């Protein structure tokens, strides 16, 4: 299934570096990878509300582009919001990994970069961080940049497999 089927596109307008929409026509389309936009992190003791350590979401982004010497340089500001849960009360800070990927016009991943953001929670257990990244696309014409896509998401790690259960008996029959 194509990657774009999973995209949750943002309603944010693409902006040039001066805050105008004029440069938007050369910018790649941007969006969030749906299931990777937000995540809940548990304490490993279960998935009940009392086991939530933190929640995180890539809540917004804004971007702009410049075309210089055969390159479209896309600058993207990303907002990461987080809050502590019941199992994270008193947590001062947390590190989150997230990614930005450039997709070709036929939806192949051309670049993927993983970033790490350390957030510091306030006294209500909330945190907000703004990060700025850049991607450079080598294109033959300024208009070619808009044929590409930039997608963002949290870098989710697979959960470990559960411990194997012990059998009730060893499977040997008792002798009579």
Strands 109-120 and 126-138: unpaired
Contact 46, 115 (CB under 8 A): no
Total-model pTM: 0.75
Contact 133, 100 (CB under 8 A): yes
Place of tokens 């907002």: 79
pLDDT value of residue 25: 74
Per-residue pLDDT of the chain (176 residues; tens, 9 = 90+): 233 222 333 333 344 444 444 455 788 999 999 889 999 999 999 999 999 999 999 999 998 999 988 889 999 999 999 999 999 999 999 999 999 999 999 999 999 999 999 999 999 999 999 999 999 988 888 788 889 999 999 998 766 656 666 666 555 555 55
The total number of residues shown for the chain amounts to 176
pLDDT value of residue 34: 85
Beta strands in the chain (DSSP E): 7-9, 29-33, 38-42, 52-68, 71-84, 93-103, 109-120, 126-138, 149-154
Token pair, residue 100, equals 């930005």
Q: Can you tell me the distance from the alpha carbon of 71 to that of 43, in angstroms, rounded to the nearest whole number? A: 45
């Amino acid at each position: 299934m194509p990657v774009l089927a999973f995209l949750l596109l943002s309603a944010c307008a693409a902006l040039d570096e001066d805050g105008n929409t004029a440069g938007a026509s050369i910018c790649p389309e941007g969006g969030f990878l749906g299931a990777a936009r937000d995540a809940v992190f548990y304490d490993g003791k279960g998935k009940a509300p009392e086991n939530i350590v933190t929640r995180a979401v890539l809540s917004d982004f804004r971007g702009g582009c410049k075309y210089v010497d055969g390159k479209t340089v896309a600058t993207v500001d990303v907002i990461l919001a987080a809050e502590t849960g019941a199992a994270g009360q008193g947590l001062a800070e947390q590190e989150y990994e997230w990614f930005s990927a450039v997709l070709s016009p036929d939806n192949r991943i051309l670049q993927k970069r993983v970033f790490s953001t350390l957030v510091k929670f306030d006294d209500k257990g909330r945190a907000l961080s703004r990060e700025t990244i850049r991607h450079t696309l080598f294109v033959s014409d300024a208009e070619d940049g808009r044929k590409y896509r930039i997608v963002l998401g949290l870098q989710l790690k697979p959960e470990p497999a559960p411990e194997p259960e012990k059998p009730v008996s060893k499977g040997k029959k008792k002798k009579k």
